Structure 1
Amino acid sequence: MTYHIRVRAGSFILQNDCILLVEFNDQNGAHYNLPAGGVEPGESVKEAAKREAKEEASVDVEVGELAFVYEYAPHLSNSRYGQTPSLGMMFEASILHGVPSLSATPDANQTDVKWIPLSQLNEIVLYPNIKQHILEYVKQKRPARLIEEHTLSTYN
């Protein structure tokens, strides 16, 4: 599918001073991502965040506040992640059910799901490299605001 801009959604899950990350091993070596992926047609960004947590980490989550909005603009980034621009929305989330683990059908090159201590975050490779943003967010706890159309009053 081609996109003018791809919309992605994901979960930012913290527990006991650790963050839940998906581990991959590919031509770039071992690296991590937040559980996230593309929003599908007919799906809200929060629904996509829930689905991606289930698909990538085998957990059911309650999606909370918007923590980050991440933009990838290829023309400003030497196309390091390809030619498709994207906008990623990462939501605070908490686990309702399940134990984080690989799903029965993991993504290509996905090798594990791990709790990484925040104190060790700077020792790993995280794509995108938002490690400092994560640490600042945890320290200041100022979520972004997402206004959802379906929650607004309508005009008569």
Structure 2
Amino acid sequence: MTWQPHITVATIVEDNGRFLLVEEFKAGRHVFNQPAGHLEANETLLEAALRETLEETAWDVELTGIVGIYLYTAPSNGVTYQRICFAARPLRHHPERALDTDIVRATWLTRDELLADPERWRSELVPQCIDDYLAGPLHSLSLIRN
């Protein structure tokens, strides 16, 4: 078997101390995650982050920086993910837009509201990315080379 990491993107969208999260139904339970997903063929990392955020939350956002690059092996399936986490600011909501089928809803939570219920995190990366965003620094988008 050939080991191959999965390339994913995630987006931290903050508005006045609240963070845009998605509620998903995974492994028989409702969990919170950043808008996130896999890089698709012929797509840049920046395009993937914008697309996933729109598809999962119905929000157009402007990417403002890179929070970090994470390597995570999921204990549930042993798959290794490389996550590139971006920061963004909200621009426009499209409430009429249907969300991806595996998304229950998009919601805004404070860090404290998220931390109060660790059983609802999709993974430990959810609060870690928020904490890294808050601690800074944000890295320039020019770090990404296409």
The normalised TM-score by structure 1 is 0.77
CA RMSD in angstroms, aligned pairs only: 2.4
1:149 match: secondary structure = coil
CA distance in structure 1 between the aligned counterparts of 2:93 and 2:34, rounded to whole angstroms: 17
Matched, 1:94 2:89: yes
- Deviations along 1:82-136, one digit per CA (max 9) or x if unpaired, are 243210111001112115x69525232x211110112212113222213255235
Query: How big is the shift at 1:11?
Result: 1.0
Q: 1:143 and 1:88, CA in 2 relative to 1: closer, same or farther beyond 3 A?
A: same
CA contact (8 A) 1:12 1:93 kept: yes
CA contact (8 A) 1:64 1:91 kept: yes
CA distance in structure 2 between the aligned counterparts of 1:69 and 1:28, rounded to whole angstroms: 28
Q: 1:6 and 1:132, CA in 2 relative to 1: closer, same or farther beyond 3 A?
A: closer
1:112 counterpart residue number:
105
Structure 2 spans left out of the alignment, 5+ residues: none
Q: Give the total of aligned pairs.
A: 141
Query: How big is the shift at 1:144?
Result: 4.0
Structure 1 spans left out of the alignment, 5+ residues: 74-78, 151-156
Query: How big is the shift at 1:47?
Result: 0.6
Query: How big is the shift at 1:81?
Result: 3.5
Q: Percent identity among equivalent residues?
A: 24
Tell which structure's C-alpha radius of gyration is larger: 1
- Which of 88, 112, 115 is 1:122 aligned to? 115
